[in-house]
Structure formats: C-alpha cells, structure tokens
Copies of this chain bind each other. A is one copy, B any other.
Amino acid sequence: MPPLPLSDRSGRTTDSPITFFIQKALETPGLISLAAGLVDEGSLPTADVAAAVAAIMADPAAGRAALQYGSTQGLPSLREKVLRHVCAADGVTPGDIGLSPDDVVLTTGSQQLLYLLGEALFDPGDIVLAEAPSYFVYHGVLQSHGVRVVPVPMDDGGLDVAALDAKLADLKRRGELGRVKLVYTVDYFQNPTGLTLAADRRPKLVEVVKKYSTEHRILILEDAAYRELRYTGPDLPSVKRFDPTNEFVAYASTFSKPLSPGLKLGYALLPSDLVAPVLHLKGNHDFGSANLAQHVVDRLLASGAFDRHVEELRRVYRAKRDAMLAALDAEFGDVPGASWTVPGGGLYVWLTLPPGVDAGPAGPLVPAALEAGVLYVPGEFGHVPGEGGELPRNECRLSFGVADAAGVREGVRRLRAAYRTLERAGARGLAAV
C-alpha cells in the first residue's frame, strides 16, 4: 500500500495525553479518576438545558434561528452578554478597557481559541513563554505549530513576573526577541497547579510585555477557564483589565467548566486588530460554532440560570476540594518532603512528592496507582525540559472534578496505598530515577 503523504504539521502533532486519560476514566468501571478534567456529573444542568431548549423551540422564530446557520463570529446578543459578564467581574465598563461586542469571538470551547490564536500568530521556530508547569494540552498545540516553549517558574503567587522579565531580557540578548510571540498564563486556579496569579503581578505582567514589544507586539494569552469556579477569596481583576487600549491581552474563557462541557462553547475578548485574522481562520475551520449551543447559553445568561448554577457549583466543588485537602492531610501528612497546593478554586490540587520519586508516565507510581484503583495525571506532562534537559517527575495533578467527596477521599487513600508499595520497594521504587 503506498504511504499516506502526511504534512510536516502532521509529523509534529501527537496524541494528547488527556485523550488517553479521559478514555481510561470512561472505560474502567471501579476506577476512581483523580485524573480527567471532566466536571462534576451530578450538578450538570440537565433541567436548565431542557427548559432553555423547550422555550426556544416553542417560539417558532427562536427555534428556527437556533437551528439555522449562525455567523462565524457568533450570536451578537451572546457576545454582548459575555462582554458584560467579564467586565462586571472586573468592575469596569467595556469602554473603560477599549472593548465592544465586535471584539468578542465565540468558539468551540476555549480550546479552539487557543488553537486559532496560534495559527494567527505562530510560524515554526517562534517562541512562547509559559508557566512551568502549564496546561499540557496547550503544549501539544504549541508543538504542532512548531513553537518552542520557554518555561517561566511559578511560586505561590503564580507566574513569577520578575523571572519572565529576566527570560525576555535573556532572549533579547541572544537576538531571539523577534521570535517571541506570546506569553501564556492560566491565571485563575491554574491547570495543573491550582495556583492563581497574585493581584499585584497582574498589571506588572502587562508592563513587562509592553517593555519588550519594541519591534512587534508580544501578546498575553490569558486563559481564564476556571475563573468562575472560585471557592475562597475575592475575584481578582483579570490581566485584560490592565490593558486599557485593548492591544496586548487576549482573554479566553469557556462555558464548559461553569456550565456544561457538552455545549462546547468558549469565548474570547481579543485586541481589535486580531479579530479579523482569527475570524478568517475560523471561517475555514467551521464558519461558526454550533449555533444551538449559543442560543441555549444566551437564554441561560438572560434568565439568571447561569449565575444560579455557578453558585451551586461553588458549593459542590468547595466541599470536594475540602475533602481532597483533608484526605491529603490525613494520608500524606506523614510523608517527609511531600507537599501540595491549596487552591482557592478550579478543579486541581498539585501534589509534590519527595525528590527522586518517579510519578511520571514511565515510572512505577502510575501502574501502582492503577493497580490500587486510582488514576492521576503525571505532573511531568505539564513540563517542558529546562535548559539543562531536566524534567521534574515527582509531581501529580489531582482533580476533584469527577469523583464525589467520598470518592475523592477514597482516591487519595488509594494513591497513598500505591505510594506505600513504592516505599516498600525501597531502592527499586523511590530511588529509581
């Protein structure tokens, strides 16, 4: 059989590890998944969606509008509402930060925006600076675009903006600033760490990219997918909030986490001159995301059902987060050198095991955990190798999204049991890096 003539891009594009983990979680009965980024099942808004669709279809004009083609950019009334929603959270008017509904694009989840933005900006050999660790699916996107990721360290306040400044200075010295296109941050309850960018770093982040935008603009992609899932602390203003001329920050978010992944609807607030390039690409991808989902979300925002649902989700997830943190205290509190983040929201806790423990996909903890009936995402997936080729392997992303509180507790207990087999195995397990 003559071979398929695959493209260079195809050669750079690999399966996402999340596909494997979602499949594992869906297929294996009895397995507790602390891995998949699926959302809580019991709180999915089945009644709200049923009511919205019934109301739309009962009105012939509304029903026909929802089942007909929409536009590439998306339903105007929903773009307006999305803009109001973000600006209300930021305590500004759209005009204050140079935005109108024309700067809003509706996408097939926020993932599509992440992809489209890359297509609009990147050529192979370009550079993106990203938090270390970062959202591993986006690493796959960057690899597919042929982009080099330069990792920037994080601490409890999220992305280390001073370190970012230093990295950019270094790239400038090396003559590589012309290849730097973007800084990527998941700045609310980050996937995978659960960390949030500190309030005082937000305006500074914009200042830093401005400082290095001498020949061309360096953009910030603010991935705010988890913003609504906030359980403690105030809602911090977005990074976008500190870009009053709407030039430097693309704000991307989604209704998948705060409402329903099955609707697969995301949105972005874009610098005005980036809208047309993104829409031209999206015109080729699909000339518009599923219109029915846009009409459903539009109705749920208008009726207040969305806000009520977010309140309910906060209650549900807060309890599951607390269950996970308590279980970690109980099970891993006695492990010297183990630590974990205490996220104010989102779906993830980041567990750091003692140095030398190999929790990576090729290490002994993954099979031990599967044997014990629990699945986690190896933290290694969130990293790109550092300058010396080093790659941390002693970290785990633990999600409290899918399992209920009892499941979360049992999952952590099983993970501890799996870890215990490594402790017992001694040199073969814990020191076999």
- A: which residues have CB within 8 A of B? 1-10, 13-16, 18-19, 22-23, 26, 36-39, 41-42, 44-47, 49-50, 53-54, 57-58, 60, 63-64, 66-72, 108-109, 111-112, 115, 119-123, 137, 140-141, 144, 181, 213-219, 245, 247, 256, 260-265, 271, 273-274, 276-277, 279-281, 283-293, 295
Q: Please tell me if the beta carbons of A38 and B69 are within 8 angstroms of each other in the complex.
A: yes
Q: Please tell me if the beta carbons of A67 and B263 are within 8 angstroms of each other in the complex.
A: yes
Known contacts A58-B50, A283-B140; is-contact A274 B111 (Cβ 8 Å): no
Q: A38-B68, A42-B64, A111-B286 are in contact. List 5 more A-B contacts (CB 8 A).
A: A4-B216, A5-B121, A45-B67, A46-B64, A49-B57
B residues less than 8 Å from A274 (CB atoms): 4
Measured CB to CB, the nearest residue on chain B to A26 is: B71
B residues less than 8 Å from A279 (CB atoms): 15, 19
Q: Please tell me if the beta carbons of A277 and B10 are within 8 angstroms of each other in the complex.
A: yes
Shortest A7–chain B CB gap in Å is 5
B residues less than 8 Å from A6 (CB atoms): 120-121, 277
Shortest A335–chain B CB gap in Å is 32
A320 to B69, CA, bound (A): 20
Q: Please tell me if the beta carbons of A217 and B293 are within 8 angstroms of each other in the complex.
A: no
A149 to B109, CA, bound (A): 32
Known contacts A262-B66, A291-B262; is-contact A10 B283 (Cβ 8 Å): no
Q: Please tell me if the beta carbons of A2 and B217 are within 8 angstroms of each other in the complex.
A: yes
B residues less than 8 Å from A10 (CB atoms): 119-121, 277, 280-281
A368 to B72, CA, bound (A): 28
Shortest A129–chain B CB gap in Å is 14
A288 to B37, CA, bound (A): 14
Measured CB to CB, the nearest residue on chain B to A259 is: B67
Can you list 19 residue pairs at the A/B interface with Cβ under 8 Å?
A5-B216, A6-B120, A13-B280, A13-B281, A13-B284, A15-B280, A37-B69, A38-B68, A49-B63, A50-B58, A69-B256, A108-B108, A115-B284, A137-B284, A144-B281, A144-B284, A262-B292, A264-B289, A292-B292
A38 to B281, CA, bound (A): 21
Shortest A401–chain B CB gap in Å is 10
A215 to B5, CA, bound (A): 9
Shortest A138–chain B CB gap in Å is 9
A359 to B249, CA, bound (A): 43
B residues less than 8 Å from A291 (CB atoms): 261-262, 264
Q: Please tell me if the beta carbons of B2 and A214 are within 8 angstroms of each other in the complex.
A: yes
A137 to B385, CA, bound (A): 41
Q: Which of B4, B64, B260 contacts A41 (CB 8 A)?
A: B64
Shortest A317–chain B CB gap in Å is 15
Shortest A273–chain B CB gap in Å is 6
Measured CB to CB, the nearest residue on chain B to A107 is: B286
A265 to B140, CA, bound (A): 25
Chain B CB within 10 Å, residue with most, of A47, A120, A247, A287: A287
B residues less than 8 Å from A215 (CB atoms): 2
5 nearest interchain CB pairs? A46-B63, A50-B57, A67-B262, A262-B291, A264-B290
